[in-house]
Amino acid sequence: METFSLFLVSPLMQDPQRIPAHDPVEALNAEYAQRSPREILAHALSQPGDIAISFSGAEDVVLIDMAARLKKPFRVFSLDTGRLHPETYQFLEKVRQQYGITIEICFPKPEAVEAMVNAKGLFSFYQDDHKECCGIRKVQPLRAKLATLDGWITGQRRDQSPGTRDAIPVIQADPGFSGPGKSLIKYNPLANWTSAEVWSYIRMMEIPYNPLHERGFISIGCEPCTRPVLPNQHEREGRWWWEEATHKECGLHAGNLEKE
């Protein structure tokens, strides 16, 4: 009898503290950490549930092109803050037509925008910092959209922003936007790619790009908060240039700041 119980009760069962933690998302990230963007994207698009590509109107058109070539069904959404460049709107339309896709446009709540601009004017971010305006025009619409999804696919790369994106995984849980009883997964297929690799893909595949890139813009956001950069300036220096460099996130990827 004593011998029998030795087989039933392992040391780990006697001391649950000794059981190693196993996070399935972290394990998946480890498995895909060195895979190609295409493989990571293929994995994301083969998952059950509602998953969509977040398209900002800039270089992450690469994700749409890869998804189209994978010939799997995919969804795309984009945030229209109301402050984008005319060139970005034209680019969104060009991509919509070229790939024959629906781009699900997410708008901010009009009453929230009205209250902010009526109280503070149209350029309060130059005095207050960008958080309130980005919160209303970007984060709230994104939160509403993500509440309808199980996963989202972003064009984030590690080389995009000093101090905020240099450690992003290729697959991660996104607790900041998860709802009760639902764990949102974020896929970053381009995390390992550099800007040079993204642009090699764009040129090689001859896919459309935002014409602002031809005028020195690299990281493109809203018109009042984006400017071209000079040779050898980091791309993020063209965004919210009046603020501290290591805090240049708009809240869409808030988890990047929490890790600082």
> Which residues are catalytic, by number?
250
Q: Given the structure tokens 């295409």, which residue do they identify?
A: 38
**Is residue 250 involved in binding ligand SF4 (CB under 6 A)?**
yes
Q: Given the structure tokens 């229209």, which residue do they identify?
A: 80
To ligand SF4, the closest distance from the beta carbon of 213 in angstroms equals 18
To ligand SF4, the closest distance from the beta carbon of 188 in angstroms equals 21
Say how far residue 117 (Cα) sits from the centre of its chain.
27
State how far the Cα of 89 lies from the Cα of 115, in Å rounded to an integer: 25
To ligand SF4, the closest distance from the beta carbon of 40 in angstroms equals 28
Return the residues of window 209-238 that contact ligand SF4 according to CB under 6 A.
Answer: 221-222, 224-225
State how far the Cα of 260 lies from the Cα of 247, in Å rounded to an integer: 10
Q: Which ranges constitute the DSSP H helices of the chain?
A: 2-8, 11-14, 24-32, 37-45, 61-70, 86-99, 110-120, 125-128, 131-134, 140-146, 195-205, 255-258
To ligand SF4, the closest distance from the beta carbon of 140 in angstroms equals 10
**Is residue 160 involved in binding ligand SF4 (CB under 6 A)?**
no
Contact, 229 vs 212, CB < 8 A? no
**Is residue 177 involved in binding ligand SF4 (CB under 6 A)?**
no
Contact, 139 vs 146, CB < 8 A? no
**Is residue 176 involved in binding ligand SF4 (CB under 6 A)?**
no
Q: Select the span of 36-44, 127-135, 150-158, 193-201 touching ligand SF4 (CB under 6 A).
A: 127-135
Cβ closest to ligand SF4, residue 138 vs residue 236:
138
Q: Where are the beta strands (DSSP E) in 107-251?
A: 151-153, 171-173, 185-187
**Is residue 137 involved in binding ligand SF4 (CB under 6 A)?**
yes
**Is residue 106 involved in binding ligand SF4 (CB under 6 A)?**
no
User: Which amino acid would we find at residue 94?
Assistant: K
Q: How far apart are the first and last CA of the chain?
A: 55
To ligand SF4, the closest distance from the beta carbon of 24 in angstroms equals 34
Q: Select the span of 2-10, 39-47, 66-74, 132-140 touching ligand SF4 (CB under 6 A).
A: 132-140
Cβ closest to ligand SF4, residue 28 vs residue 218:
218
Judged by CB under 6 A, the number of residues near ligand SF4 is 13
Positions in the binding site for ligand SF4 (CB under 6 A): 81, 83, 125, 130, 133-134, 137-138, 221-222, 224-225, 250
